[in-house]
Structure formats: C-alpha cells, structure tokens
C-alpha cells in the first residue's frame, strides 16, 4: 500500500470510531471534559439584563426553538389553568408521529379527552366547526386532522399563557440558555477529522463539537480565494439561506465562524456520500437505482424543495451530486451556493445559474422564472437516478453544452424500455417545457405532485416525520468519499491583502451559533438535560434564586 492509501486508511479509522458517537451515550463518553465544563448556565443575575432583549416572540420562542418550546411546555404542565392545553399539544404531536395503524385509536382518545364538553380536560377554545369536522373525519387517518385545532390551541396559548410564562422561572431558564447560546464558539471547540470533499473555495472536513461530542461537517471557505474569485456574495447568500431553513430534508447550519485563513460553515454531517456516487460508483455492474429506491429519494427531495419554496427560496442546483445521504440512508439537499431568495413583493427572478443538462428551458431562454425551474431539475434528477444517464445525453457521449441546451429546449425526453408508465408520466410532468403546465409548487405546497401515481405506495406523513425506513442503509464501516489523495489540493493564493471592508464582511459572516440547530444539539446529546436542573419540592434552584 502506498503512503497516500495508508493515510486514508488511518484517517478513515479514526473518523469511523469518532462517528460511533452518534449514539448519545457514546457521544457523552467522547466529550472533552474541559470544553463540556465551559457549557454552563450563568447565574441569573449575570444575564437578567437580557430579559428585555432576548427573542421572545411567541412563535419563535414557544413553538420553533426546541429549548424554548420544551420550557414553555414545562410551564404549561406546572400551571393548573394550562395543563390540559399543554397535554393536548403533546398528544397532537404524538398523533403526527404514531404509525398509521394506531392513528384512529389515538385520534379517538384525543377526541374523548379534549373535544368532549363533559370531559374535565375539555378545551373550550376550540371552535365548534373544527370540533365537528374532526369528529366526522378522524377515521381517515389524515396527517392534517388536527392542524386547525393546533392553530387554535397556539392562538389561545399566545393570548392566555405567554404572559404567565414570561413572569415564571421557566422564562429565566430560557434566558440563561440564550446567554449560553450567544457565547462565542471558535475553531478550538471543534476537533477535526478527515476531509470529506472538496468545494470551490476549500475543503469540507468531518469534525466533532468537543463539548457535546456531536459530529458535524465543516465547510471551509478560504478567505484569500474568496476575495480573489469574488465569492463574497455567493457565500453570504448560502450562509443566510442555510441559517434560515430548518428541515430534515436540507442540511442545516449550526455554527458560522472564522479563523485567520477561512470562513467556516458547520453543518449536518452527511456520512453516506452523494447520490451520484451511489448511482455510479458503488456497484459498477448495476448502475442507477430501482424505481422504489428512486421514489424514496425523490419524495425526500420534494419535501426539501417544498420547504425552500415556502421560504421563497429557489434552489437552482438540484442534481444527484448535491443530494447527500446520512448514516441511516435519509437524504438532504446541500450546496445552496446558487440559491436565491425572492424578496417580498417580487415573484420572479432572472439569471443563468445551474448545471448544464439540468437547467430548465425558461432559465436557458433568459426569461424571468421562479420555483418552476427546480421541478425541471427534479425531473432530470429522477430520470438519471433510474436510467443512470441524463435524459438529454447519450451515455459516454462527448457533447457541447450548446447541443445539450438545444435538446432541452426542443427535444422530448426519450425513455428506456424499463421505465414504468407511472415513472414516465411523472418525468413528463416534471420535464414539461412550459413552466405553466409543469408539475410543482402550487398554493404553497406540492400536493398535486405528491399525489402522482408513481408515489401511490408512499406514506407521505411517515416520510415527513422521518419515520419511513430508507431503502438502503450505508455501511457504517465504509467511508463514502474519495480517498484523501484523490480529493486534490488547492494551490496557494498569492497577492491578496485584506482591508477594513474585508474584515467587516468576515465579521458579519461569522455570526456564531444558529439557535435552532444549537438547541437541538444540546437536547440530542443530553447536555440540555444535564443543565436544566430544578430544585426539589417546587423550590427554585440556586442559579435562579435572586
Ligand atoms: P461547493 O459549494 O464549493 O461546491 P459543496 O457544498 O458542494 O461545496 O461541498 C463540497 C463537497 O464536500 C461535496 O461535494 C461533498 O462531497 C462534501 N460535503 C459537503 N457538505 C457535506 C456535508 N454536510 N456532509 C458531508 N460531506 C459534505
Ligand atoms: Mg458542490
Ligand atoms: Mg456551492
């Protein structure tokens, strides 16, 4: 074995053993005690001043931020007037994640306990027409059975419980966690492992947050290369968008910081490699995926696109290479460097962006476009997943970009004989040249697309809750990335000096912790439970006693 190969083997084994720490208990064992000790709640006196400035909008604090929500729910169960509403909320959460076969029974229990006027837990804030509808509908195991009730619940809690929460010790505890969340996290908090891939501005490495043991991917962007190649705008867009979206189908950003030489994005680690690698490099005699496997990935991609589009973001660079697998075999969209966000009041954008062979006709024709372009790239991606070649290329053919463009604009896709009718129908609907007629995002969702016959066997509720078992589970001992010496090295960038404007940009980029993923990390790794200690018999713990 040559030295390069040996280096990869050693790096892989160090990294594979650290990865064992995905299991929470093992993660606790892998923590660095010195850094874990730095994660401590301050005494409330030290952070009380933040009470007025901390993010305390109801939807953000009590619903979307996991620690805020947890503490708010604790408050509800501590207070007799709100206890039933709090229990109702948790039961509705459970309804959304129980198996389909248990749904009717769960719904029945919820109806008896909260929708019945003679029950002691009757929720009088529910509107009569909603109650009637749920009672009529509950046998249909719909995933949105309680959506309306939940909205009424939250409206009720905002009006009646938010004030009480904000004058309770649970809010002080929230303030303590927000203080901790705001502490600077720098390079030295992360232990670096092997390189996972190479991007345009630097390498992506596996890394581990020392204080919690959680593994992440660190995408490093070399400051000099960024400046020389005018990459500032695109990395800022990527960072801003990643920090804004929170979906199990898109990589999430947990930290953004800087070192002397790099800007760093610390994101969900996707250990399973990308779809392109799985289609072409895992089993060379058997390229591409079965339709069942492709339908699973395609469905998860649709959920990711739907989330982006609900946040007015156009992805523009969907292709198998940008869809990454995690340890369990679920996929997420990554690489949002070409994405754009439509500002309020503006419903279209312009501009040539994407990958040849994937870009939609309206974009290639330099027309104004919006989310429709992402469903064209989805059609190309789906086709390629099954055919193991793009719809506008012949396998092995060397072809000019201009010829590919011509084909996208005027040739209908031609399907291999193995494609099922359902698959052809879906590909046709997605690769429809007229964006008005294309399947996609309508009325703020992808309902028509999800109801296509190709997905007949798929349980969308389960899939959206992350409960559907993936068709393929990556081998935990494998590293689905190129060998270290095949990743390639960057040449050093010469002749770049930084000025005050550059530093201003770096500081704006390095905004630190992103609240929701940070709070998830604290909860998942057990650190939240270790820190969130309450006194006995209703007494306040010392750190909250003023
Ligand atoms: P660029 O925008 O410069 O193309 P990417 O975001 O595509 O950079 O990242 C470069 C490579 O790093 C990817 O092709 C992939 O191999 C790897 N990579 C990126 N993000 C992750 C991640 N979250 N987990 C694991 N590997 C990743
Ligand atoms: Mg990339
Ligand atoms: Mg990119």
* Summary count for the chain: helices (H), strands (E): 26, 10
pLDDT exceeds cutoff 70 at 375 = yes
Q: Tens digits of per-residue pLDDT, 233-269?
A: 999 999 999 999 999 999 999 999 999 999 999 999 9
Predicted confidence band of residue 2 (pLDDT cuts 50, 70, 90) = very low
Predicted confidence band of residue 12 (pLDDT cuts 50, 70, 90) = low
Q: Tens digits of per-residue pLDDT, 495-532?
A: 888 889 999 999 999 999 999 999 999 999 999 999 99
Predicted confidence band of residue 477 (pLDDT cuts 50, 70, 90) = confident
Ligand 1 touching residue 332 (CB < 6 A) = no
Q: Give the Cα separation of 358 and 529 in Å (integer).
A: 46
Predicted confidence band of residue 1 (pLDDT cuts 50, 70, 90) = very low
The residue among 155, 182, 209 that closes a domain is: 182
Q: What are phi and psi of 333, to 5 degrees?
A: -75, 140
The answer to whether the beta carbons of residues 367 and 348 sit under 8 Å apart is no
At residue 411's C-alpha, the angle toward residues 405 and 414, to 5°, is 115
In this prediction, residue 482 carries a pLDDT of: 67
Terminal CA-CA length for the chain? 65
The residue among 424, 456, 478 that closes a domain is: 478
Task: Measure 405 CA to ligand 2 centroid, in angstroms.
Answer: 21
Q: Tens digits of per-residue pLDDT, 380-394?
A: 999 999 999 999 998
What's the average model confidence in pLDDT over 69-89? 96
Same domain, 93 and 59: yes
Q: Give the Cα separation of 376 and 428 in Å (integer).
A: 10
Q: Tens digits of per-residue pLDDT, 203-237?
A: 999 999 999 999 999 999 999 999 999 999 999 99
Q: Is residue 446 part of a domain?
A: yes
Ligand 1 touching residue 268 (CB < 6 A) = yes
Q: Is residue 91 part of a domain?
A: yes
Q: Is residue 226 part of a domain?
A: yes
In this prediction, residue 347 carries a pLDDT of: 94
Question: Any idea which of 178-187, 344-353, 380-389, 489-498 has the lowest mean pLDDT?
Answer: 489-498
Q: Is residue 525 part of a domain?
A: no
**Which atom of ligand 1 lies closest to the CA of 481?**
16
Q: Give the Cα separation of 108 and 111 in Å (integer).
A: 5
Same domain, 165 and 52: yes
- CATH number, domain containing residue 319: 1.10.510.10
Examine the residue annotation and report whether 536 is marked as an active-site residue of this protein: no
Q: Give the Cα separation of 409 and 397 in Å (integer).
A: 19
Nearest to 134 by CA among 82, 91, 86, 170: 91
And the tokens for 515? Answer: 């609240």
Predicted confidence band of residue 476 (pLDDT cuts 50, 70, 90) = confident
What's the average model confidence in pLDDT over 5-34? 65
Same domain, 73 and 192: no
- CA 72 distance to own-chain centroid: 24
And the tokens for 201? Answer: 């501005």
Q: Kindly state the greatest CA–CA separation across the chain.
A: 78
> What pTM was computed for the model?
0.90
Of 317, 326, 335, 543, catalytic: 317
Q: Give the Cα separation of 94 and 113 in Å (integer).
A: 15
Nearest to 113 by CA among 89, 133, 136: 89
How many domains does the structure of the chain reveal? 3
What's the average model confidence in pLDDT over 104-127? 96
DSSP string, 355-396: -TTT--HHHHTT--B-THHHHHHHHHHHHHHHHSS-TTS-TT
3-state secondary structure of 313: strand
Predicted confidence band of residue 274 (pLDDT cuts 50, 70, 90) = very high
Give the domain range for residue 495. 3-30+184-271+487-513
Same domain, 319 and 460: yes
pLDDT exceeds cutoff 60 at 3 = no
Ligand 1 touching residue 323 (CB < 6 A) = no
Task: Measure 246 CA to ligand 2 centroid, in angstroms.
Answer: 20
Q: Is residue 519 part of a domain?
A: no
Same domain, 328 and 440: yes
Q: Is residue 528 part of a domain?
A: no
The answer to whether the beta carbons of residues 264 and 514 sit under 8 Å apart is no
Same domain, 466 and 365: yes
3-state secondary structure of 520: helix
Same domain, 64 and 21: no
pLDDT exceeds cutoff 70 at 313 = yes
- CATH number, domain containing residue 90: 1.10.167.10
Average pLDDT, the chain: 92
Q: Give the Cα separation of 496 and 258 in Å (integer).
A: 17
pLDDT exceeds cutoff 60 at 448 = yes
In this prediction, residue 483 carries a pLDDT of: 66
Q: Give the Cα separation of 227 and 239 in Å (integer).
A: 16
Q: What are phi and psi of 166, to 5 degrees?
A: -70, -15
Q: Is residue 356 part of a domain?
A: yes
């Amino acid at each position: 074995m040559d030295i390069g190969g040996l280096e990869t083997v050693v790096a892989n084994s160090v990294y594979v053993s650290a990865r064992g720490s995905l299991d929470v208990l093992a993660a606790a064992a892998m923590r660095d005690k010195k850094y874990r000790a730095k994660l401590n709640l301050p005494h409330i006196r030290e952070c009380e001043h933040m009470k007025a400035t901390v993010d305390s909008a109801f939807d953000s604090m009590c619903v979307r931020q996991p620690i805020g929500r947890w503490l708010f729910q604790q408050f509800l169960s501590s207070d007799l007037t709100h206890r039933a509403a709090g229990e109702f909320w948790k039961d509705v959460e459970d309804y959304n994640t129980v198996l389909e076969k248990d749904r009717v029974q769960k719904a029945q229990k919820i109806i008896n306990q909260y929708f019945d006027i003679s029950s002691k837990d009757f929720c009088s804030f529910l509107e009569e027409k909603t109650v009637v509808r749920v009672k009529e509908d509950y046998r249909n195991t719909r995933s949105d059975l309680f959506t309306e009730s939940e909205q009424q619940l939250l409206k009720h809690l905002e009006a009646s419980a938010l004030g009480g929460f904000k004058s309770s010790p649970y809010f002080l505890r929230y303030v303590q966690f927000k203080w901790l969340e705001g502490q600077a996290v720098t390079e030295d908090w992360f232990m670096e492992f092997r390189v996972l891939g190479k991007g345009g501005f630097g390498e992506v490495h596996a890394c581990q947050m020392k204080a919690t043991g959680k593994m992440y991917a660190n995408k490093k962007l070399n400051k000099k290369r960024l400046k020389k190649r005018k990459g500032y705008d695109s990395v800022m867009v990527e960072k801003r968008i990643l920090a804004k979206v929170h979906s199990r189908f898109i990589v999430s950003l947990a930290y953004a910081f800087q070192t002397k030489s790099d800007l760093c994005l610390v994101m969900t680690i996707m250990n399973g490699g990308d779809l392109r690698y799985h289609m072409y490099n895992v089993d060379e005699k058997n390229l591409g995926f079965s339709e069942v496997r492709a339908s699973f990935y395609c469905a998860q991609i649709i959920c990711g696109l739907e989330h982006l589009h609900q946040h007015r973001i156009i992805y523009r660079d969907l292709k198998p290479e940008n869809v990454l697998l995690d340890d369990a075999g679920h996929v997420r969209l990554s690489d949002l460097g070409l994405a754009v966000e439509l500002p309020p009041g503006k419903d279209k954008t312009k501009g040539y962006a994407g990958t040849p062979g994937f870009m939609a006709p309206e974009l290639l024709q330099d027309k104004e476009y919006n989310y429709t372009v992402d469903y064209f790239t989805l059609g190309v991606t789906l086709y390629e997943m099954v055919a193991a070649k793009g719809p506008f290329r012949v396998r092995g053919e060397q072809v000019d970009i201009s010829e590919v463009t011509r084909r996208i604009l005027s040739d209908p896709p031609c399907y291999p004989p193995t494609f099922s009718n359902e698959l052809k129908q879906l590909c046709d609907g997605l690769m429809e040249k007229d964006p008005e007629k294309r399947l996609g995002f309508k009325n703020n969702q992808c309902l028509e697309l999800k109801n296509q016959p190709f997905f007949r066997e798929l349980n969308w509720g389960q899939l959206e809750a992350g409960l559907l078992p993936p068709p393929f589970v990556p081998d935990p001992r494998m590293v689905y990335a190129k060998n270290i010496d095949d990743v390639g090295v960057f040449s050093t960038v010469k002749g770049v000096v930084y000025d005050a404007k550059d530093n201003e940009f770096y500081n704006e980029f390095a905004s630190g912790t992103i609240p929701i993923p940070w709070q998830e990390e604290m909860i998942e790794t057990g650190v939240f439970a270790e820190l969130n200690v309450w006194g006995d018999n209703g007494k306040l713990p010392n750190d909250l006693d003023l």
